[in-house]
Amino acid sequence: MVQIIALVKPFRAQAVLAALESIEILGGTVREAMGYGRQKNRLHRYLGSEYNASFLPKVEITLFVHDADVATAVKLIVTQARTGRMGDGKIMILPCLDSAPNF
């Protein structure tokens, strides 16, 4: 089992989640987050709104998938989340050494 954490732009989150329905998701969460990275304060407008801070809104999607589904999940996330502009997000893949029993 592997944990995948994807940070994506808010307006792309629904498309990413819809695409991931084609694989088996063992569990996961979706939450709002604030992104900070190389874009620094260079993006002064985001979806028509003015931003004066260095933090931009993101959606954090955390998934648990089988090892065999990792490549497919990452490909689905990238194809749906990528806009080609700065700040598209990040994907982190973490191994799960042991899974707890269901309770």
* 101 domain residue, yes or no: no
* 103 domain residue, yes or no: no
- Residue 83 near residue 9 (C-beta atoms within 8 A): yes
Sign for the CA dihedral angle at 59, 29, 80, 93 comes to positive
* 8 domain residue, yes or no: yes
The predicted pLDDT at position 35 comes to 76
Average pLDDT of span 19-29: 94
* 15 domain residue, yes or no: yes
pLDDT tier, 40 (very low <50, low <70, confident <90, very high otherwise): low
| Segment 88-102, tens digit of pLDDT | 889 999 998 766 666
Domain that residue 66 falls in: 2-95
* 102 domain residue, yes or no: no
CATH label of the domain that carries residue 52: 3.30.70.120
Please give the Cα distance from 69 to 59 (Å, whole number).
22
Please state the domain count of the chain.
1
Across the chain, mean pLDDT equals 84
The predicted pLDDT at position 84 comes to 84
* 100 domain residue, yes or no: no
Please give the Cα distance from 7 to 34 (Å, whole number).
9
SS3 57: strand
35, 31, 26, 18: which is closest to 81 by C-alpha? Answer: 18
